[in-house]
Amino acid sequence: MADINAMAKIVDDAARAGKAIPQLSGKHDYTLEEAYAVQAAAFQRRLARGEKQVGMKMGFTSRAKMIQMGLTDLVWGRLSDEMLVADGDEIDFNKYVHPRAEPELAFLLKKPLEGPVTAAEALAAVEAVAPAIEIIDSRYKKFKFSLEDVVADNSSSSGFVLGAWNKPDVDISNLGMLLEVNGRPVQIGSSAAILGHPVRSLAHAARISTQAGESLQAGWVVMAGGATAAHALNPGDYVRNMVQDLGYTGFTVSA
């Protein structure tokens, strides 16, 4: 039987140290359900250190991401307050293994959301929408993993950046999204690439979190998932995600 706590310590230590580890699946035979248990136990270690859960991330929500990583299932992870990078702030490159940026949209919830819900019910729980960037950083060597490995590793979530919140009356179904690095476009996409409409990602988040016994809370942020493939970051980069009608958000990477 899989040793959930031992595996949770391995991924948590790797995330804290910014050090690459071999894939857990090389040594441990574990199921997807056990992988989510590892993720939960690793997140508990963060909470025990004083971090607070502030939301949830959805992953592999676009075909571009699935193709980039060779996996086909939706995944999810947990967001803590420590993972929030303030808009315009600098991240320390040395604290990461091999960070990448994904252009995303984020939802802020005004009420709890328990699944299953329709897309319309999900939208009715939204207080605001913002342009966002997820900083992913697989703790596994060469960014290579099985589905179980990536789930155990909080679905690679490492940080998130939020732009200004907009009222949810903007039609977000097909907004142009442009990820720039140092002023140069590196990924171009549309919010429609996120499951056809980003609100479907929120509805999935409600269903999945309820199944996990942890429904979405008022005040939480839900990251809808990348609209394009992720872009590898280098020291000194200035990264910006511009979302049509919503504005932009960005951060710099230490030199």
Q: Give residues in contact with ligand 0L1 (CB under 6 A).
A: 59-60, 65, 69, 75, 102, 134, 136, 138, 150, 155-156, 225-226, 230
- Residue 50 CB, shortest distance to Mg ion, in Å, is 25
CA distance 182 to 82: 26
CA distance 156 to 100: 10
Spell out where 48-148 has E strands: 53-59, 75-80, 84-85, 90-91, 100-109, 126-136
CA distance 46 to 250: 25
Binding flag, residue 137, Mg ion (CB under 5 A): no
* CB 249, CB 106: distance < 8 Å: no
237's contact among Mg ion, ligand 0L1, none, with CB below 5 to 8 A by partner kind, is: none
Q: Which residues contact 26 (CB under 8 A, 6 or more apart)?
A: none
Identity of the residue, 134 or 180, whose beta carbon is nearer to ligand 0L1 in the bound complex: 134
Identity of the residue, 20 or 74, whose beta carbon is nearer to Mg ion in the bound complex: 74
Identity of the residue, 163 or 225, whose beta carbon is nearer to ligand 0L1 in the bound complex: 225
Helices (H) and strands (E) in the chain, counts: 6, 13
List the 176-181 sheet strands across, edge first: 90-91, 247-253, 238-243, 176-181, 184-190
Number of residues in contact with Mg ion, rule: CB under 5 A?
3
- Residue 225 CB, shortest distance to ligand 0L1, in Å, is 5
- Residue 67 CB, shortest distance to ligand 0L1, in Å, is 11
Given candidates 134, 148, 153, 180, which one binds Mg ion under the rule CB under 5 A?
A: 134
Phi, psi of 254 (to 5 degrees): -60, 150
99's contact among ligand 0L1, Mg ion, none, with CB below 5 to 8 A by partner kind, is: none
Given candidates 102, 149, 153, 237, which one binds Mg ion under the rule CB under 5 A?
A: 102
Identity of the residue, 4 or 108, whose beta carbon is nearer to Mg ion in the bound complex: 108
Quote the tokens at residue 130.
Answer: 């913002």
Given candidates 172, 226, 228, 237, which one binds Mg ion under the rule CB under 5 A?
A: 226
Residue 23 DSSP code: -
Identity of the residue, 4 or 79, whose beta carbon is nearer to Mg ion in the bound complex: 79
Identity of the residue, 109 or 230, whose beta carbon is nearer to ligand 0L1 in the bound complex: 230
